Chain A
């Protein structure tokens, strides 16, 4: 099968992301990369847990004073929904429905951007309301590093998906770009999973612990 060949619905393979050797390699290589990313975030989580509420003196606010569940709950719902919409996009990709895939990807991007907007608001709020900054305490450093790393991943994911959408807008799907769409959505799921852990470890445990 040639990568640039034009396909009809009938000839489009069931798993276009792994139909070529290059696709198979991308698929596997990206899963491996996510394995490394998992360890990266595990290290950041461990650092955060070690430094949670570690502040120089009692004038600094602690986790239970600053976090607000309604805000992060909305953010969580936005990101979880965006994961679902990216699944729909991949469903249409596998059925060779390019326009529907693009539409669902656009919704994914919008949801992700809304999430990022909330995060910017949240950080801004903490800095101005509670003087909880990156340099104010070890707790602040660890919090902004962990959550900020995730936020940076979201931003990269958005730029990546948008680039793919624009680059391929005119030519549609083929076996060269199908794996690219697939691994981008894989990345998006990973970001979502990391957020679930952040929501649990940072915010939920922050409220009760």
Chain B
């Protein structure tokens, strides 16, 4: 079964990816799809900035501006940042705990295809009458009054991709709890694994409220119910609560994996053990816990009253404590280390001041009385871009450079990487720093244009120039990726030479069964421990034997496609189209039929035989 070394035709490769249940290939799928949506969301951002570059601009109309603004936020959060986070979790997490795959490889593939079809459905709105235009938060008071199908695309698209995320979270939880290699205790898990663990728990408890909110919205818009309609006794605030009970944990779902990636990078390139490992774990868990207690700080101006506002304000400020612990631990990790400023390390270092700036404005916003002034202004826009771009996007870019050799077996060019880093860093601060002041001067968020003579001209122009810097940086990264893929210079197990954790102890990219023999973990930074004792690789924890692997399957794609079809039926049912209900039924039949087949058809997987594993050794693909 040493198939991974064989050359395959193009069609066979495509079929392989459509049916794969291998976490490493699913990671690549997430990376490509997430990267694609990142570019789409980035283009939407450029349209926004071009429109706002000068006062009284008519580059795009007000209605189109609403659509672009909504799709920028929705795409970046749900279709770019989430899947890119999932890409690294898939690529690295099973390797870091010494597992051969995730707990549910089939469900893993299903999660990807659900996300993918949800994302495609959402973006098809551009070609089918107009995109969602009620903001990424889609408050019911706005979205129920949006004509046409625009918001329907949001409701149904996010519903489909949200289910994919939820089952992904369950999968990673079960993987980490059940599939760790011998000796990999919880307190020896690398920080990226730890943060993924906490994040998966957040996903498990945060996504169901979104699911419910979207179901209620779907019922109100498409099936005549009255949840958010005050004239029939409904209450529009219910949407805001459900959305933010999901939405606030969501920002931690995005930032914690970035924290995890940075923790790995700081330790690796400072060539030092991560400072305060156990306090880092504690802080991660605490952030995850507190993340659920603060959703209403998005709703200070709704009128919940001073007591509720005060409680949520204090809880929000409390999150600064564990976050501060992390910031200091990262700095102490660098302190006295023998630092190498590679591209990932540059991103990590630049992340600290950028993210702290976003954190400080977060504390300012958490002060409820002051928030009445900041609310709905560009100050808020500046704040969340500082934490999400300065935290999450920096983390994803750092992770892209750091894990690229492990995922693809070749290194991204360091010189181009550093050029794009500097352009991105400068562009980022140029774009968003000035927006704090625009907000304080009174520029409201989500406006499509402004009049001259209000003092907004210079600030907006600077901001737009910065956005172009970031666009060029991303362009250079793409060129880097293409050049690297063409050159394709193969690298060994540990291309950064300072790898500390298990993933660097096996080939790049790893064979499809990951570990020929499960490794014995003897401490934190398991691979580093072995290196320090002068060994080349891990000590095996088991004799060489047959390996059980899951079968590939097209069913995950079919199930997701069924929901994609059903969504069209549900949406056009509102227009009294005669074909709408049949389409809805056919779509659901495809999904449930595929689930039925999955249920009744046994899938025992297959075994790789010991002899074949020995053959792999002879060919030089040494584990």
Q: Which of B12-20, B227-235, B449-457 contacts A (4 or more CB under 8 A)?
A: B227-235
Shortest CB distance B180–A (Å): 12
A62 CB → nearest B CB, Å: 11
B223 contacts the other chain (CB 8 A) = yes
Query: Among the listed A40, A136, A139, which residue makes an inter-chain contact with B212, where contact means beta carbons less than 8 Å apart?
Result: A40
Q: Are A134 and B225 in contact (CB under 8 A)?
A: yes
- Determine the chain A residues whose CB is within 8 A of the CB of B220 once the complex forms: 141
B232 proximity list for chain A (CB < 8 A): 55-56, 136-138
Contact B233 A176 (CB under 8 A): no
Most buried by A among B225, B227, B231, B600: B225
- The 8 A CB mask of A129-165 against B (1 = contact, 0 = none) is 0000011111111100100000000000000100110
Q: Is B422 engaged at the interface, CB distance under 8 Å to the other chain?
A: no
* The one of A21, A40, A43, A138 that contacts B233, using a Cβ cutoff of 8 Å: A138
Point out the residue from B174, B229, B235 that lies within 8 Å of A32, measured CB to CB.
B174
Contacts of A140 in B (CB 8 A): 225-226
CB proximity to A under 8 Å, residues B580-600: 596, 599-600
Q: Which of B40-48, B202-210, B315-323, B440-448 forms part of the interface with chain A?
A: B202-210
Q: A47 to B170, Cβ gap below 8 A? A: no
The prevalent SS among residues of B at the interface is helix
Q: In the complex the two chains form, is B166's CB within 8 Å of A39's CB?
A: no
A3 at the interface (CB under 8 A from B): yes
B80 within 8 A of A: no
Whether B604 lies near A3 (C-beta < 8 A) is yes
Q: Tell whether A33 pairs with B170 under 8 Å between CB atoms, given A43-B212, A47-B216, A137-B233.
A: yes
Q: In the complex, A24→B174 CA distance in Å?
A: 9
Query: Binary interface profile of B, 432-470, with partner A (CB < 8 Å = 1, else 0)?
Result: 000000000000000000000000000000000000000
How far, in angstroms, from A55 to B229 measured CA to CA in the complex? 11
Size of interface on B: residues with Cβ below 8 Å to A:
43
Taking CB atoms, residues of chain A closer than 8 Å to B227 are: 47, 51, 138, 141-142, 145
Contacts of B284-305 to chain A: CB distance below 8 A: none
> In chain A between 11 and 67, which residues have their CB closer than 8 angstroms to a CB of chain B?
21, 24-25, 28-29, 32-33, 35-37, 39-40, 43-44, 46-47, 50-51, 54-56
Docked-complex contact A141 and B225, CB < 8 angstroms: yes
Q: Is the CB of B205 within 8 A of A28?
A: no
Q: B488 at the A/B interface (Cβ < 8 Å)?
A: no
Query: Which residues of B lie under 8 Å from residue A21 when comparing CB positions?
Result: 178-179
Q: Flag whether A167 is at the interface (Cβ < 8 A).
A: yes
Name the residue in A4, A33, A55, A160 with the highest tally of chain B Cβ atoms < 10 Å from its Cβ: A33
Q: Known contacts A36-B207, A135-B226, A138-B232; decide if A44 and B177 are in contact (CB<8 Å).
A: no
A47-B216, A134-B224 given; A29·B103 CB < 8 A: yes
Cα distance, A50 to B213, chains bound together (Å): 14
Interface string of B604-618 (1 = CB under 8 A from A): 100000000000000
Given A28-B174, A51-B233, A56-B232: A167 in contact with B225 (beta carbons within 8 A) = no
A44:B233 contact, CB within 8 angstroms: no
Nearest CB on B from A81, distance (A): 26
Q: How far is the CB of B229 from chain A (nearest CB, A)?
A: 7
Beta-carbon contact of B225 and A139 below 8 Å: no
- In the bound complex, do residue B211 and residue A40 qualify as a contact, i.e. CB atoms below 8 Å apart? yes
Residue B219 lies at the interface, judged by CB distance under 8 Å to chain A: yes
Hey, which chain B residues are within 8 Å of A160, CB to CB? 599
Interface hits, B164-180 → A, CB 8 Å: 166, 170-171, 173-174, 177-179
CB-CB under 8 A from B178, the residues of chain A are 21, 24-25, 28
Give min CB distance, B94 to chain A, whole Å.
13
Contact B233–A29 (Cβ < 8 Å):
no
Closest Cβ–Cβ distance, residue B220 to chain A (whole Å): 8
Q: Is the CB of A138 within 8 A of B234?
A: yes
Of all chain A residues, the one with the shortest Cβ separation from B231 is A56
- Contact yes or no, B234 A51, CB < 8 A: yes
Given A25-B104, A51-B227, A176-B602, verify A138-B235 contact (CB < 8 Å): yes
Residues in B with CB closer than 8 Å to A176 are 602, 604
Specify which chain A residues have a CB less than 8 angstroms from the CB of B212 in the assembled complex. 40, 43-44, 47
Q: How far is the CB of B34 from chain A (nearest CB, A)?
A: 23
Contacts of A142 in B (CB 8 A): 227
Output the least CB separation between A173 and chain B (Å). 14
| Residues B225 and A54 in contact, CB atoms below 8 Å apart | no
Q: Which residues of A contact B267 (CB under 8 A)?
A: none
- The interface residues of chain A lying within 8 Å CB-to-CB of B155 are none
- Interface check B541, CB cutoff 8 A: no
- The distance in angstroms between the C-alpha atoms of A176 and B179, with both chains bound, is 19
Question: A46, A51, A138, A160: which has the most chain B beta carbons within 10 Å?
Answer: A138
Do B219 and A145 touch across chains, with their CB atoms under 8 A apart? Answer: yes
Bound-complex Cα distance A71 to B219 (A): 28
Q: Does B380 contact A (CB under 8 A)?
A: no
**Is B482 an interface residue when CB atoms closer than 8 A count as contact?**
no
- Per the bound structure, the CA–CA distance linking A3 and B227 in Å amounts to 48
Roughly how many angstroms separate A24 CA and B179 CA in the complex, as a whole number? 10
- B204 to chain A: which residues have CB within 8 Å? 32, 35-36, 39
Q: Nearest Cβ distance between residue A90 and chain B, in whole angstroms?
A: 19
Task: Write out the residue numbers on chain B whose beta carbons fall within 8 Å of the beta carbon of A47.
Answer: 212, 216, 227, 238, 242
Please, how many angstroms separate the alpha-carbon atoms of A50 and B241 in the complex? 12
A56 to chain B, nearest CB (A): 5
Residues of A near B170 (CB, < 8 A) are: 29, 32-33, 36
Known: A25-B103, A25-B174, A54-B233. A43 touches B225 (CB 8 A): no
Residues of B within 8 A of A25 (CB): 103-104, 174, 178-179
Are A145 and B205 interface neighbours, CB within 8 A?
Answer: no
A145 touches B226 (CB 8 A): no
Least CB distance from B1 to A in Å reads 19
Residues of A within 8 A of B215 (CB): 145
Q: How far is the CB of A27 from chain B (nearest CB, A)?
A: 9
Give the one of B205, B208, B213 with max A CB within 10 A. Answer: B208
Question: Contact: A50 with B599, CB < 8 Å?
Answer: no
Nearest CB to that of A33 among chain B residues? B170
Given A36-B205, A36-B208, A47-B212, the answer on whether A135 and B234 have CB atoms closer than 8 Å is no
* Given A24-B178, A36-B170, CB of A43 within 8 Å of CB of B226: no
What are 19 A-B contacts defined by CB distance under 8 Å?
A25-B104, A25-B179, A28-B174, A28-B178, A29-B170, A32-B170, A32-B204, A37-B208, A39-B208, A39-B209, A43-B245, A47-B242, A51-B235, A55-B232, A56-B233, A135-B224, A138-B232, A145-B219, A163-B599
Closest 8 CB pairs of A and B: A54-B233, A138-B233, A141-B225, A40-B208, A138-B234, A43-B212, A135-B224, A39-B208
